[in-house]
Amino acid sequence: MPPLPGSGRFAPSPSGDLHIGNLRTAVLARLFATATDRGFVMRMEDLDRVQPGADVRQLADLRALGLTWDEPVHYQSRRRDAYRSVIDEMVSAGTTFECFCTRREILEAPSAPHAPQGAYPGTCRELTAAQRARRHTERPAAIRLRADVASFTVHDRLHGEFTGDVDDFVLVRNDGTPAYNLAVVVDDAAAGIDQVVRGDDLLTSAPRQAYLATLLGHRPPEYAHVPMVLNRDGARLAKRDGAVTMADLAAQGVDAGGVLSVIAASLGLAAEGERVTMPVLQERFSPERLPREPWIFVPRPASVKR
């Protein structure tokens, strides 16, 4: 008998209000989870940049769209002991090493032939104990994975088989903060998350995370990297592009239902201006019919019917 499905998730960083691209991804993550009889986890990735109150506003916006999730909301900042425990085990197992390189040193170091641009060149991989002791007097060390593969293959629901580079990526920064690639893998495994739906700008990071999950004894999740939302210039959507957040759009007369309507139309799940709800979208949802190209969003609040 195949294993029962676990959960999907949405994991924003509370560094500001969610824009319509983030909201669209959240809607898709919820639709994917429900369509596959999975639970749905909400996680705040608050180890780095945090704007006070942003998490509360983000959750309120998601609820206004009709999203629900399994309580409680998970906060990474409350799980530092869990990350530390995993790192201690990896250090003891010899699957990490200390790195003293700055970003500039990595970029300027000669790399191996055919290595991807920006890949870690292995500078600190084989330092002796004496060399490490001397470097400790100069700057604190980051902790990197001692990878034993150069690439790893994942299966993506929308992109198929995808093979990406794996290098000795950072697990803990030199200020002691757990790195994204470590925290996301540890958290997904702990929460029983076996489906990850997120923007396709993160597709290239999936092989690293899946490899680390495998190394830690976990089964990598099923991935679905969905198309990004871009501005009229084809660049990543940002606050400077105008009315892109729920608060911005509300100020221009577009309520939460109108925002969901715009998102639904962009996914081919509703006609322009049609009022819909999450249950209605769930009935219409089919991953195979999703658009595969980026959505160019140009704020047109007057075109959405109230």
Q: Can you tell me the distance from the alpha carbon of 174 to that of 178, in angstroms, rounded to the nearest whole number?
A: 9
pLDDT of residue 3: 58
pLDDT reading at 23 higher than 90: yes
pLDDT digits (tens, 9 = 90+) for 195-219: 999 999 999 999 999 999 999 999 9
Residue 46 lies in a domain: yes
Using the 3D structure, point to which of 182, 214, 246 is the last residue of a domain.
214
- Same domain? For 272 and 292 the reply is yes
Query: How many independent structural domains does the chain possess?
Result: 2
Between 304 and 145, the more confident residue is 145
Q: Can you tell me the distance from the alpha carbon of 193 to that of 56, in angstroms, rounded to the nearest whole number?
A: 23
Residue 253 lies in a domain: yes
Residue 135 lies in a domain: yes
pLDDT reading at 304 higher than 50: no
In angstroms, the Cα distances linking 181 to 39, 205, 228, 269 are 23, 8, 20, 33
- Same domain? For 66 and 142 the reply is no
Backbone φ and ψ of 174, nearest 5°: -75, -5
pLDDT reading at 246 higher than 50: yes
- Same domain? For 165 and 122 the reply is yes
Residue 301 banded pLDDT, cuts 50, 70, 90: very low
Of 57-61, 97-101, 302-306, the least confident:
302-306
pLDDT of residue 302: 41
Residue 195 lies in a domain: no
Residue 146 lies in a domain: yes
- Same domain? For 91 and 164 the reply is yes
Strand, helix or coil for residue 164 = strand
What's the whole-number mean pLDDT along residues 175-189?
97
- Same domain? For 63 and 95 the reply is no
Residue 116 banded pLDDT, cuts 50, 70, 90: low
- Same domain? For 100 and 178 the reply is yes
Residue 222 lies in a domain: no
Residue 153 lies in a domain: yes
pLDDT of residue 112: 53
Using the 3D structure, point to which of 160, 179, 214 is the last residue of a domain.
214
Query: Across-strand partners of 172?
Result: 143, 178
Strand, helix or coil for residue 125 = coil
CATH of the domain at 36: 3.40.50.620
pLDDT digits (tens, 9 = 90+) for 8-22: 999 999 999 999 999
- Same domain? For 32 and 99 the reply is no
Of 88-102, 224-238, 277-291, the least confident:
224-238
Predicted TM-score of the model (pTM): 0.91
- Same domain? For 295 and 259 the reply is yes
- Same domain? For 116 and 165 the reply is yes
- Same domain? For 262 and 180 the reply is no
pLDDT of residue 185: 98
CA angle 108, 109, 113 (to 5 degrees): 120
Q: Provide the percentage of residues in the chain whose pLDDT is more than 70.
A: 94
What's the whole-number mean pLDDT along residues 80-101?
97
Q: Where is 153: in which H helix or E strand?
A: strand 151-156
Longest Cα–Cα distance of the chain, Å, equals: 69
- Same domain? For 180 and 96 the reply is yes
pLDDT reading at 118 higher than 70: no
Average pLDDT, the chain: 92
pLDDT of residue 74: 97
Its domain, for residue 117, covers 80-190+207-214
pLDDT reading at 243 higher than 80: no
- Same domain? For 112 and 169 the reply is yes
Residue 162: name the closest of 222, 236, 229 by CA: 222
What's the whole-number mean pLDDT along residues 55-74?
98
pLDDT of residue 148: 95
pLDDT of residue 106: 87
pLDDT of residue 105: 87
pLDDT digits (tens, 9 = 90+) for 218-237: 999 999 999 999 998 888 88
Is the four-CA dihedral 181, 183, 186, 189 of positive or negative sign? negative
Residue 221 lies in a domain: no
